[in-house]
Structure formats: C-alpha cells, structure tokens
Amino acid sequence: MPNPLPADSVGLVQPQTAHFSEPLPLDGGKELPHYDLVYESYGQLNAKKSNAILICHALSGDQHAAGYNSLEDKKPGWWESAIGPGKAINTDHFFVVAVNNLGGCKGSTGPSSLNPETGKHYGPDFPIVTVRDWVNSQQRFMRYLGIDVWAAVIGGSLGGMQVLQWSMDYPEQIKNAVVIAAAPKLSAQNIAFNEVARQAIISDPDFYAGRYYEHDAKPRRGVMLARMLGHITYLSDDAMRAKFGRELRSGKINYGFDVEFQVESYLRYQGRSFVDRFDANTYLLMTKALDYFDPAAEHGDSFAAALKPATAQFLVLSFTSDWRFAPSRSQEIVQALVEAGKSVSYATITANHGHDAFLMPIPDYLNILSAYLQRIADEFPT
C-alpha cells in the first residue's frame, strides 16, 4: 500500500457478505437454494437512496473495484482509475457498489465454495449461470441494500452485458446504463477463443473433471494457457508492438524453447500469476456466460425488440483498437437502441490498448464518463 495513501483513493475498504436463503431459479433449469454475495461499497448512500451505482465486473474481475483491502496490498482494486473521490465515478457524490458475481471465486458462492449439503466443494456440481441469472441475483442484492433504483449500472466487457440485461429485465430500477467495450452477443471467433481456453483447462490431467480441490491439485497448466490466450485478445496488435515489439529478452536468439522474446516472458508471467488468484471452474463458468449471452435470440434475432422494455438512458463506449469487442460491436448496440427508440449517447475513444482500454486511465475516456455521471449527480443534492 502506498504511503501516504493517495488522496483520490477510497482508501481502506473491507469486503462484506450478504447471505440469501431464498432459492434462486436459474436459466439452466436448476436453482441455488441459498448463496452468499460478497461486495464492497464506496461513498455514502444518500437519504433518498437515489445515488447508488452498481459496478458489474468482467470475466476475471471481482468485488474489489477500488481502494485497498489491507495495509499490505501492493495494488488497489481493478478500477481504481475510475472510482474514487473526485474521479469519474465520483464517490463524493455516489454510493458505489461492486459485487462478486455468483459462481465467482472471491467470496461469492461458486464452484470453489463448500456445498453445505455435501460438505465438499461444489466443483462441477455448481450450476451454469447466465448473465440473466447474475442480474437476478444482483436485483435481490439491491433489495437487500434497500435500494429501489440504481442511479446507474456500469460495466465493461462481460460487465457491459450485465448492464444491458439490467436495462431489459428491470427497466424501472435502472436510470442510466453505461455499457463499455461490450457486444450484443459473442461472434463465432469469440466463442472459438473461449472454447480453446476451456479445452486447455478441461484437458489438463490435474482438472479431475472439476474435482481438483479434493485431489489437492489445480489445473495450473490449463488455466495458465487460458490466461495467456486471453491476454492476446485483450491487447491490440499495435499495443503489443508498442509494448514488446520483437525485443529479445537476452538480446540474442538462443535457438531453444526457453523464453526469448519479451512478449513470451510477459504472457508466461501473466499466466502464472493468474493461476494463483483464480479458480479454474469459475473461469469455465464465466466463459459460458459470455457464450450464452444473446438477448436477441428470444426476440426473433432482433436486439432492438429485446431492448423494447428498456427505459434507462444509455451511454455506450468503445475503443478504436479493441478487436475482441470492436467498435463495430458497440455500434450494433447503439443501432438497436436507436431502432428501439431509446435515448443513447455513444463515443469511440481513440486508444491503443485494445480491449484492455476499458480498465485504463485514458483521459478522453474518463472525461466522457465523468461528464456523463456529473450530469446525473447534478440532479440530486449531494
């Protein structure tokens, strides 16, 4: 933890746990009899409870979006650049809540949790959850917090899909929907990358059909490969060129299979460090939620028809160098919103960082987000 604490950080925060004992029916036909959701919150809920913002996380995100969980933390939460006093998502004005999604591995009930009925880890018995299931669980969580309406729901990538789902399923409970670097559904290529990642994990002999916890094992190789592959799709070709080029780690070619190029070193490091902090079964679940997201499917493949119930104001953002969910995918969202007669603002931000841009402190990006949210804040007394 930096000393002194940065003045624009929310500072020390502790995750909290909300327990739910009402069974949650799931898209896949099963139900979760009871579950925990772990969350963090920043800023103060006002008396009218009108200043609450929900942050939806992406594939490998969690509830720790801002601040520091302990004095030993070397890094703050994953969206520290956007959330804090005076920042784009201004905690001087807003009560900001981030929740670890159901099926996650950072405290919310998921495959690595103990199943109270068996005393063992859920593992592969944890049901497949969808974006809609997450939104339903988040809506219960909203009631738990005593909040009737979100001033905004905000998310990037898979988080943006949750924002879209919120706007369709609970239109009266979300005033603003901020959808960043998302898509109305995955392309075949997106699904293909997910499938290779899944196969890497599932085919790892240490996966034990998802019951690796009981074998005191971890599918390290598989998760590492999945994460390495993921990182290629998060960075743009240009960003990789700028970051690594073809730089040799030792300055010369060694004619062997050890790390030679800087980009190899980076990927192996990213892969290895991910293994220690993420659960393989959760990774599988998250990729499936991505694959399944396709609200248009139930509406004759018309996304505009799916968006019909929405009443929120929309802000849609994309980044020029993002090839995982390219600007054209965000434009599909915008087009459907326009077709459905909704209110939408849209910007493509020039950025070299690829899909990762949505997590980066890019001034143009944060300025747009800040201006949009400031307008909302101006509507209620601080």
Catalytic residues: 157, 322, 355
Interacting span for a copy of itself (CB under 8 A) from 63-71, 148-156, 174-182, 183-191: 183-191
Interacting span for a copy of itself (CB under 8 A) from 58-66, 110-118, 188-196, 313-321: 188-196
Output the CA angle 136-137-138, nearest 5 degrees: 90
Using rule CB under 8 A, residue 261 touches a copy of itself: yes
Nearest Cα neighbor of 10 from 81, 84, 71, 78 is 84
Using rule CB under 8 A, residue 199 touches a copy of itself: yes
Count CB-CB contacts under 10 A for residue 294. 16
Rounded to an integer, what is the distance from CA 243 to the centroid of its chain? 24
Q: Work out how close the CB of 360 gets to a copy of itself at its nearest, in angstroms, rounded to a whole number.
A: 18
Using rule CB under 8 A, residue 27 touches a copy of itself: yes
Using rule CB under 8 A, residue 31 touches a copy of itself: no
Q: Which is nearer to a copy of itself, 8 or 294 (CB)?
A: 294
**Amino acid identity for residue 96 in this structure:** V
Number of residues that bind a copy of itself (CB under 8 A): 53
Interacting span for a copy of itself (CB under 8 A) from 40-48, 182-190, 308-316, 357-365: 182-190
Task: Tell me if 63 sits within 8 A of 39, measured CB to CB.
Answer: yes
Q: What is the DSSP string of 278-331?
A: --HHHHHHHHHHHHH--GGGGGTT-HHHHHTT--SEEEEEEETT-SSS-HHHHH
Binding mask 270-309 for a copy of itself (x = CB under 8 A): -x------------x---x--xx-x---------------
The helix (H) or strand (E) run that includes residue 136 is helix 131-145
Q: Which two tokens stand for residue 81?
A: 């650049």
Using rule CB under 8 A, residue 252 touches a copy of itself: no
Using rule CB under 8 A, residue 366 touches a copy of itself: no
Interacting span for a copy of itself (CB under 8 A) from 39-47, 66-74, 192-200, 334-342: 192-200
Orientation angle between helical segments 280-292 and 220-234, nearest 10 degrees: 40
Using rule CB under 8 A, residue 71 touches a copy of itself: no
Using rule CB under 8 A, residue 264 touches a copy of itself: yes
Q: Work out how close the CB of 263 gets to a copy of itself at its nearest, in angstroms, rounded to a whole number.
A: 5
Bond prior to 4 in cis (omega within 30° of 0): yes
Using rule CB under 8 A, residue 241 touches a copy of itself: yes
Nearest Cα neighbor of 58 from 216, 224, 278, 251 is 278
Q: Cα(96)–Cα(153) distance, rounded to whole angstroms?
A: 10
Q: Cα(166)–Cα(153) distance, rounded to whole angstroms?
A: 8
Which residues contribute to the site for a copy of itself (CB under 8 A)? Answer: 27-29, 127-128, 185-189, 191-193, 195-196, 198-200, 202-205, 221, 224-225, 228-229, 231-232, 235, 237, 240-241, 243-246, 253, 255-257, 260-261, 263-264, 267-268, 271, 284, 288, 291-292, 294
